[in-house]
Amino acid sequence: MKGVIKKISSDPLGLIGLCLVTLMVISALGAPIFAPYDPIQLNIMERLQGPSVNHLLGTDQLGRDLFSRVLFGGQVALKVAFLTIGLALIVGIVLGLIAGYGPAWLDNSIMLLFDTIRSVPTIMLALAAVTVVGPSITTVIFVVAVSSIPNYGRIVRTQTLTIKSKDFVKAEKLMGASLLRILSIHLLPNILGPLLILASMDIPTVIALEAGLSFLGMGVKPPTPSWGSILNDGFSLIRNTPWPIIAGSIPLVLATLGFTFLGESLRDLLDPKLRKLL
């Protein structure tokens, strides 16, 4: 682990990425400590202010401190990103292993399912789900997870197919190893590396999607602060003040940039062959 961090730091972009991601994680986790105000406390007297010593990023139309909202918004972004990708990874691995190792009919039906999911643009799927069950963080997490399952599942399947016919797996089978043992001890560790890199490169996409959906009012419910909902507030006030838009977009852009740089340098470091694939 120490070696990985050291190597990433030697690549300037990787270092920037690492710093940005660390900054984001610390500020999100420490939001209750760092935030000078309650992110949902109204203060109509001080509404629509520009940045000042009291309010570092100004206030929104209800007088809420934007800096505090941005910090707490980071919590939402991180939560959505990690839960979504974790969920998609687990389901993707299971389905991918089944498809790659199981009988042909099962493989075909799982691939059909993957293709079906992939043929619907994520935002459209999300909007359709929101129409039915209403906007909430859970809906966002669930939908984005479902739409990213095929990405992971396909890679797991391909890798499983390749490794399945290797001699060491055949030998293990002859020695009478159980299916579970073959899958978990021999196949999984060989697949996990590229999968984790892919997952880390998906984090910015998920963060941007959450922000996009919250911006449309289809993500987190007010008054919960999210970068997307801050941007939405800013959008409705665009002719009065630019500050909410600036406040909402800076962390969003920095976070996506940070995770992208980090993911790319991680990929180059751990598995340069993937460069062409991803």
Residues that bind other proteins (CB under 8 A): 13, 116, 118-125, 127-133, 204, 208, 211-212, 215-216, 218, 231, 234-235, 238-239, 242, 245, 249, 252-253, 256-257, 260-261, 264, 276
Q: What are φ and ψ of residue 65, in 5° steps?
A: -70, 120
Closest CA to 223 of 127, 232, 56: 232
Distance between CA atoms of 107 and 50, rounded to whole angstroms?
58
User: Whole-number minimum distance, CB 73 to other proteins, in Å?
Assistant: 14
Q: Are the C-beta atoms of residues 159 and 191 closer than 8 Å to each other?
A: yes
Closest approach, Cβ 271 to other proteins, in A, equals 16
With beta carbons less than 8 A apart as the criterion, state whether 199 and 92 touch. no
Measured from the CB atom, the residue of 177 and 246 that comes closer to other proteins is 246
Q: For other proteins, give the closer residue by CB, 117 or 182.
A: 117
Region at 134 (left for phi over 0; alpha for psi -120 to 50; beta for the rest): left
- Where helices occur in the chain by DSSP H, the ranges are 2-10, 12-29, 31-34, 66-101, 104-118, 122-133, 137-164, 167-174, 179-181, 188-215, 227-236, 243-270, 274-277
d(CA 119, CA 125): 10
Q: Per this entry, what is the length of the chain?
A: 278
State which residue, 184 or 240, has the beta carbon closest to other proteins: 240
In angstroms, what is the minimal distance from the CB of 13 to other proteins? 7
Q: Which CB atom, from 111 or from 123, has the smaller least distance to other proteins?
A: 123
Beta carbon of residue 128, minimum distance to other proteins (angstroms, whole number) = 5
Nearer to other proteins, 2 or 276 (CB): 276
Least separation, in Å, of the C-beta of 180 and other proteins? Answer: 31
Report the nearest approach of other proteins to the CB of residue 127 (Å).
6
| Sign of the four-CA dihedral 134, 137, 138, 139 | positive
When the beta carbons of 77 and 187 are compared against other proteins, the nearer one is: 77
